[in-house]
Amino acid sequence: MVEFKSEAALAAMRESGRVVATALAEVERAAGVGVSLRELDEVAREVLRKAGATSPFLGYRPAFAPVPFPAVICASVNDAVVHGIPTGYRLRDGDLVSIDCGAILDGWAGDAAVSFTVGPPRPEDRRLIDTARRALEAGIAAAVVGNRTGDIAHAIGTVSRAAGYGLLDGYGGHGIGRRMHEDPHLPNEGRPGRGFPLKPGLVLAIEPMLIAGGTDTHTTDPDGWTLRTTDGTRAAHVEHTVAITPTGPRILTLP
């Protein structure tokens, strides 16, 4: 069931979105050579604690998961695309890191992700991350009243495929509101004019997941969560929570 949010609900979601943005900024600031993924998770936990927010990630257990998710961020490094569990792995110079974070504040959820490198990026990593951001921007630009979810998916897929990148098969964005995952599902590739109609009050988490080698397939780590590229190439994941409004898309997870 799809829930359309009131202006009051969107204002509340904007506040949860600010918490997510702050957590992501603090995690990126803390990420450096020798810092562990578990330490980055602690940074995000402290941001949520100070804001009086809780994590929709911590303890989350969908049907595919063998265990509940044990952290407040997903930390995916190099060939890990999404859902990486923060471990004791210590970052190295040149690592490509994707951090996904959510927050629930006053009953409303926010969800966003960033990708960055530790130290100066290699040209190919810069291009991958820049393309992921452009794909996200294209998807957001298509998030207007009168369009459909297929228009967002088509915009993301067009930018990604034109650059020669793969898109994580079977994964994409989603509705969001009082729960982190709500209807409708939002693919990262599709046909314009198809899918769920975009109406005022619909809120979507738009999240391109690009694979440098051009493949779409993935493997799953023994932890049951971390998804990796099958070709061993690097990946980038970026995301914003976006509201459909009569005056255009409204990004709720900006700083």
Q: Are the CB atoms for 187 and 118 separated by under 8 Å?
A: no
CATH number of the domain that residue 66 is part of: 3.90.230.10
Per-residue pLDDT, averaged over 190-215, amounts to: 98
Q: In which element (H, E) is residue 166 found? A: strand 166-167
Q: Name the nearest CA neighbour of 250 among 144, 155, 173, 174.
A: 144
Compute how many other C-beta atoms are within 10 angstroms of the C-beta atom of residue 203. Answer: 29
In this prediction, residue 71 carries a pLDDT of 98
Task: Please tell me the chain's helix, strand, coil percentages from 3-state DSSP, rounded to the nearest 5.
Answer: 30, 30, 45
| Domain that residue 176 falls in | 7-251
| Domain-embedded: residue 203 | yes
| Domain-embedded: residue 44 | yes
Q: pLDDT band for position 199 (50/70/90)?
A: very high
**For residue 84, what is the DSSP state?**
P
Q: What is the pLDDT of residues 24-75, one digit of tens each?
A: 999 999 999 999 999 999 999 999 999 999 999 999 999 999 999 999 999 9
| Domain-embedded: residue 244 | yes
Chain centroid offset of residue 145 CA: 23
In this prediction, residue 111 carries a pLDDT of 98
In this prediction, residue 115 carries a pLDDT of 98
| Domain-embedded: residue 173 | yes
Q: pLDDT band for position 187 (50/70/90)?
A: very high
Chain centroid offset of residue 19 CA: 15
In this prediction, residue 6 carries a pLDDT of 98
Compute how many other C-beta atoms are within 10 angstroms of the C-beta atom of residue 233. Answer: 18
| Domain-embedded: residue 228 | yes
In this prediction, residue 196 carries a pLDDT of 98
Q: pLDDT band for position 112 (50/70/90)?
A: very high
The mean predicted confidence, pLDDT, of the chain is 98
| Domain-embedded: residue 57 | yes
In this prediction, residue 229 carries a pLDDT of 98
| Domain-embedded: residue 2 | no
Q: Under 8 Å CB-to-CB from 86, ≥6 apart: which residues?
A: 36, 37, 38, 40, 41, 71, 73, 74, 75
Radius of gyration of the chain, Cα coordinates, nearest whole angstrom: 17
Structural domains counted in the chain: 1
The percentage of residues in the chain with a pLDDT greater than 70, rounded to a whole number, is: 100
Q: pLDDT band for position 126 (50/70/90)?
A: very high
| Domain-embedded: residue 233 | yes
Per-residue pLDDT, averaged over 214-239, amounts to: 98
Q: What is the pLDDT of residues 140-161, one digit of tens each?
A: 999 999 999 999 999 999 999 9
